[in-house]
Amino acid sequence: MEWDTSDEGWKFVEILSLTDYIFDENRGRERKWLIGAICFTNRPEFKMLEYCGIHPFWRNKGLLKSKWPILRERFGSFEISYPRSKAMQCFLKSVGYTDPPHF
């Protein structure tokens, strides 16, 4: 197996960052920090949420649920990749997600 390191390999990948303002003790002020990311395969005929990672301090606080309508609006109907953690399974149940019939 060889890695595709060309720009073509990223053509249908979208990574959305999740950020929050946190006080930076070194700078003595708040600044924006990356607290998570959501990765999609976004092809015209196929859309899939491939990865969602949120820093443990921000989990279970409704962050993904608050972004869910925005994701649905932006990507329309999309599938969720496997494997899914128990937390992700519970989240998907809470937003009414069901797998397409071919899964």
Give pLDDT, residue 6. 76
Give pLDDT, residue 7. 78
Residues of the chain with pLDDT under 50: none
Residues 53-81 pLDDT 10s: 999 999 999 999 999 999 999 999 999 99
Query: Phi first, then psi: what are they for 8, rounded to 5°?
Result: -60, -35
pTM of the model: 0.82
Domains of the chain: 7-94 (3.40.630.30)
Angstrom distance (rounded) from CA 7 to CA 90 = 35
- Strand residue runs (E) in 1-103: 13-24, 29-43, 46-54, 79-80
Give pLDDT, residue 20. 94
Give pLDDT, residue 103. 52
